[in-house]
Amino acid sequence: MAGYVIREMKAGDYQEAFALWQEDEGIGLSNADSEANIQKFLARNPALSYVVLHNGKIVGTILCGHDGRRGYIYHLFVAKPHRNKGLGRKLVTKSLERLKEEGIDKCHLFVFARNELGRNFWINTGWTLREDIVVMSKATG
């Protein structure tokens, strides 16, 4: 992992991180991903989200938080030229370790059904595909 640095995601990382997220068809972006909302999320969930830097540029991210009971991972992303180096696994491990330190013993994530690359990553890193639940959503407004 020479040349790579993992550090906590900061509010000032938003523009660079958001630009990366827009590169990936597997990441769903919405108003919840506005700069103000991500800054609020990071403030509410300190030391749970991380970035990977290569030559001072963000090349990977993980957005992680919890509600006091369960952890949630959002927007794990590693730029294509930096994949298959274990960076995604390292980001996940850091976030899961921090969740554990905060007393959170289970973490969930959402993957689009069409995101085969993402589904394979999660299955290959030990996550369980749940087929016994259905996700339902509704706008609050």
| Residue 15: both structure tokens together | 């523009």
Q: Tens of pLDDT along 6-46?
A: 999 999 999 999 999 999 888 999 999 999 999 999 999 99
Burial tier of 106 (Cβ tally within 10 Å: 0-12, 13-18, 19+): exposed
Pairing status of strand 4-8 against strand 50-54: antiparallel
- Residue 114 within any structural domain of the chain: no
The answer, yes or no, to whether residue 137 has pLDDT greater than 80, is yes
- Residue 18 within any structural domain of the chain: yes
- Residue 131 within any structural domain of the chain: no
- What's the domain range around 61? 4-108
- Residue 118 within any structural domain of the chain: no
- Residue 91 within any structural domain of the chain: yes
Confidence at residue 1, expressed as pLDDT on a 0 to 100 scale? 67
pLDDT confidence bin for 70, thresholds 50/70/90 = very high
- Rounded to the nearest 5 percent, the helix, strand and coil shares of the chain are 40, 20, 40
Mean local confidence (pLDDT), 50-55: 98
Cα(92)–Cα(126) distance, integer angstroms: 11
- Name which of 99, 55, 49 is nearest 75 in CA terms: 49
Share of the chain above pLDDT 70, in %: 99
List the CATH number of the domain containing 14.
3.40.630.30
Q: Tens of pLDDT along 79-124?
A: 999 999 999 999 999 999 999 999 999 999 999 999 999 999 999 9
The answer, yes or no, to whether residue 2 has pLDDT greater than 90, is no
Indicate the number of domains in the chain. 1
Confidence at residue 25, expressed as pLDDT on a 0 to 100 scale? 86
Backbone dihedral region of 126: left (phi > 0), alpha (psi from -120 to 50 degrees) or beta? left
